[in-house]
A and B are shown apart, each in its own frame.
Chain A
Amino acid sequence: MDYPIWNVAMGGGVLMAWVAITHVIVSHFAIGGGLIIVITETLAVKRSDPELRELARRSSLVLILVSTVFGAISGVGIWVVAGLISPGAISALIHNYVWGWAIEWVFFILEIVAALVYYTTWDKISKGAHLLVGWLYFIGAYFSLVVINGIITFMLTPGGWLESHAFWDGFFNPTYWPSLVLRTGIVVLMAVAFMLWPAFKASPDRRPDLVRYLGWWFLGGVFVSYAGYRWWEAVLPDTVTALFLGEAPTLAGLAATRSFTLWSLTLGLAVTVVALLLAPKLARGLTAILLMVGAFGFFGGYERLREGTRKPFLIHSHLFSNGLLVSQIDEINARGIAAHSGWVAAGDPAPEAFGGRIFVAQCASCHTIDGYQSIREALPTVADMELVAADQPSGMGAVHYREQCSRCHGDIEYQEMAEMMPTLEEIREDPEFIRELNLGMITMTLVELRDMGEEFADFEPGKQFDMRTLDRSYMPPFVGTEEEVEALALYLASLDRGETDVVATGGEK
């Protein structure tokens, strides 16, 4: 929060999502591809089957072109983007887990060198030596996963680390093993989804064979990843599963994501059984695309679920995704965010501009002005008030109310509000008064967000928090002094006047 801010119109989170999605797909493919390719080659050598060997060879071209470069660059990309959009958060992760990453790097070297050698030496060295290189590639790739899995799972379920802050307590956390099984299944799914394409290039009489062969792999991948997924759900703390499981999940969106995840896997399973195993002759480009949709849907859904249940933390119960530590809440409330960050303090001292810098420091990692999770949309405006009050055509008032107001007024019915709020004439006559009313609403909302911070003191330290007890469990609290609440409220209220980008970062003279 005390770093300068990179203001991306599209939203840092959206950019991160794009980079991360590409990276996880490619990197899991690189691992699973390694496994299937080298086993395929082993079988081909044993059975002296040139077509099977050709499949391994063709796939290894994709592997090298896509994974050693695209995978590596997008992996670096995750760091680059994280450093740009949430430097405090990524710094905290690195300061705790640098040796984990350093170890991953060793396996990464092995993986990359082996991949380059494997690809270049087809038919140039003895078959035994070539297989050896292939296995070393797979070992390097898989152990990268073994290491990074510890860090990723730590972020959602830090387990004993919250109390001890000991590396291995966080590494072998409650979701470590289930997640490793799940990802082991996923790497196979990703690899098959890609390898079907080179398999289609085989001679027509061998094609069905190869397709069925890959079908068995996919089937295995489905079972392993389903088992891993259920195990993962089973070991998650109840406070986390309650967010998306059961009669009344706290976050309905995540519950839908979960159904999507499992239905995607079902789709993949159905396509495999029908078009890869029973009637491999039918397999076409469309089959491969459907399989990819199923596999990516499952994987993407799971990742979304993992991220969604972790929000608003980067490290659950320890560090928020905007870089605020739970342990800093009281101190910043007392001294102010300006005292904490030179970038917020420096620049135009007028309250509105100051508030703009506070927004950037605390809120902009999740909210854009008008794009993804638009803050302007989330706040009441004079136009919103008019629409609700006008109720034109009749019934639309209630609709607008549900869309524009009920996220904060969930406890008030439309009818009740209609009686309480100013009429359309009053609004038109005196929009300034409405602006004042809106400013009041925004200020009160920020006060609530600030009060929410105090509730963190009630949680049992060293244990994973039950975020359901909070009103706005998807957001970090606001931290700062009362004066800063007012400045931020003024800034947020000013958005209704149409200024798009009054945000001035610190230091500008």
Chain B
Amino acid sequence: MNTDLIPALDAAGMPGPPWLFHFLLVFTFFLHLIFMNLTLGGTLMAFVANLRGGGRTADPNAVLAKRLMGVNTYAISLAITTGVAPLLFVQVLYQQYFYSGTILLGWIWFNMLVLLMIGYYAAYLHKKFRGPWLGVSALTFFGIAMTHVAVHLIHVQPEKWARFDANALAVLGDPTYWPRLLHFVLAAITFAALVAAWWAVRRARAGVDVEVNTAIAATAWRWGLWSTVLIMVDGFILLGVLPKPVLLGVMRGGLATLGPLTISILFGVGLLMMLARAKNPVENPGLVSGTLAALTLTIAVMTVTRHQVRVLYLDPFTSQFHPTIVPQWGNFILFALLLVAGLATVFWMIRRVLTSPAEGDEAA
């Protein structure tokens, strides 16, 4: 493969073994996906539910929209926070490709920040003033998804950089672009839907607004079912349009690549069966929690597959570069310890908060 346009490796070398960065990249990206799914899927769903609720505050659809947007206040911030880490690690492993991809997109990539800002504040404005803000928010988040899929497809295909340099939007014509985008967007919707269903079931079982919560659970469950059906169809299309060498790579990769892929397909089928089984999710809370857990696992496994596909796309190029490795083990260990301590502190704090209700006169 011609590597002329690919920048040199960084002279400083890699501050740890590549496998460590691969692991951290995949792991933190998975964390990011959880909150990204809530943000993107939740906002898209809230937008539709809000329309269907037609402004009647007691309508289950309206309550669902309100709830999803309530979660969003936190989900957006956490999506950004968890997004920082994969952004950092991708720059260690793939800086030659990643920066090149972002530069070829130029303003489009920069504008992602602008969209993020608009999306967040529009969500806030929606809560205050209603109006068109929810639609604005949904649109901007969708735009961010489009940007990410674009930068991904550009950075993994250096052989096409000259073409993208002439016209970055040519990436929209990449056969995998739309199936790939849809795959992520639908998964986001499924995840947000199942979280909403799970919460509504819990509320209903606890005897809070049973009627509304039962209706919400049923609606959200249907969202989950139908978007999973679409994901399965779209997933096979995506597999079919992958470039030949990449698809062959997946097929010939043995257990390492076929394992995760098979597991996620089986999980997908399993999810469909679970989703189709319950007509009224409130009657079957165990199934609901199980389905949400299975979905989360599927996302985790799919994150691995996604990464393997990137590795295969880039293999003809990366195999021609041999980074020197200058491990900083001490610093890694410090990071790992602090990460554990930091997360423990966060959990401890949240527990403290949940178990310390305001006393008497303090309660508002």
Contacts and interface: CB of A to CB of B under 8 A. Distances in A.
A325 interface: yes
Contacts of A116: 73-74, 77-78
5 closest residue pairs by CB, A with B: A342-B4, A99-B331, A507-B162, A87-B99, A129-B356
A121 B161 contact: no
Interface residues of B, number: 74
Given A2-B8, A91-B91, A126 B74 contact: no
A342 B112 CA distance: 28
A506 B158 CA distance: 14
A186 to B, nearest CB: 23
A77 interface: yes
Interface of chain A: mostly helix, strand, loop or mixed: helix
B103 A84 contact: yes
Interface in B101-120: 102-104, 106-107, 109-110, 112-113, 116-117, 120
B85 A123 contact: no
A104 B200 CA distance: 37
Interface of B: 3-8, 10-16, 24, 73-74, 76-78, 80-85, 87-89, 91-92, 95, 98-100, 102-104, 106-107, 109-110, 112-113, 116-117, 120-121, 124, 161-162, 165-166, 328, 331-332, 334-335, 338-339, 342-343, 345-346, 349-350, 352-353, 356-359, 362-364
A123 B7 contact: no
Contacts of B82: 109
A83 B83 CA distance: 16
B307 to A, nearest CB: 18
Contact of A106 (B83, B91, B99, B335): B335
B91 A94 contact: yes
A8 B110 CA distance: 11
Contacts of A109: 81-82, 342-343, 346
Contacts of B364: 122-124
A81 interface: yes
Given A4-B104, A80-B109, A109-B343, A346 B162 contact: yes
Given A72-B77, A94-B95, A328-B11, 6 more contacts: A73-B120, A95-B95, A124-B357, A345-B4, A346-B162, A508-B166
A4 B5 contact: yes
Contact of B77 (A69, A106, A127, A133): A69
A163 to B, nearest CB: 15
Interface of A: 2-6, 8, 15, 65, 68-70, 72-77, 79-81, 83-84, 87-88, 90-92, 94-96, 98-103, 105-110, 112-114, 116-117, 121-129, 132-133, 136, 167, 325, 327-328, 340-343, 345-346, 505-509
Contact of B339 (A101, A106, A125, A325): A106
Contacts of B73: 116
Contact of B335 (A8, A103, A136): A103
Given A109-B343, A133-B353, A506-B5, A92 B109 contact: no
A105 B162 contact: no
Contacts of B81: 72, 108-109, 112-113
A122 B14 CA distance: 45
B298 to A, nearest CB: 25
A205 to B, nearest CB: 24
Nearest to B99: A87
Nearest to A323: B7
Given A95-B15, A108-B84, A132-B349, A346 B92 contact: no
Contacts of B363: 123-124
16 contacts: A15-B110, A65-B124, A69-B76, A81-B110, A83-B103, A92-B10, A92-B12, A99-B328, A102-B88, A116-B77, A116-B78, A124-B363, A125-B357, A129-B353, A343-B5, A346-B162
A88 B343 contact: no
A74 B80 CA distance: 11
A112 B77 contact: yes
Contacts of A83: 91, 98-99, 102-103
A72 to B, nearest CB: 5
Contact of B7 (A65, A88, A110, A136): A88
Contacts of A3: 7, 99-100, 103
A192 to B, nearest CB: 25
A102 B91 CA distance: 12
A7 to B, nearest CB: 8
B165 A95 contact: no
Given A69-B77, A91-B99, A102 B85 contact: yes
Contacts of A110: 342, 345-346
A261 B78 CA distance: 37
A340 to B, nearest CB: 8
Contact of A72 (B3, B80, B112, B346): B80
Contacts of A128: 356
A122 B364 CA distance: 9
B110 A84 contact: yes
Contact of A92 (B6, B11, B104, B331): B11
Contacts of B3: 342
A4 B352 contact: no
B346 A4 contact: no
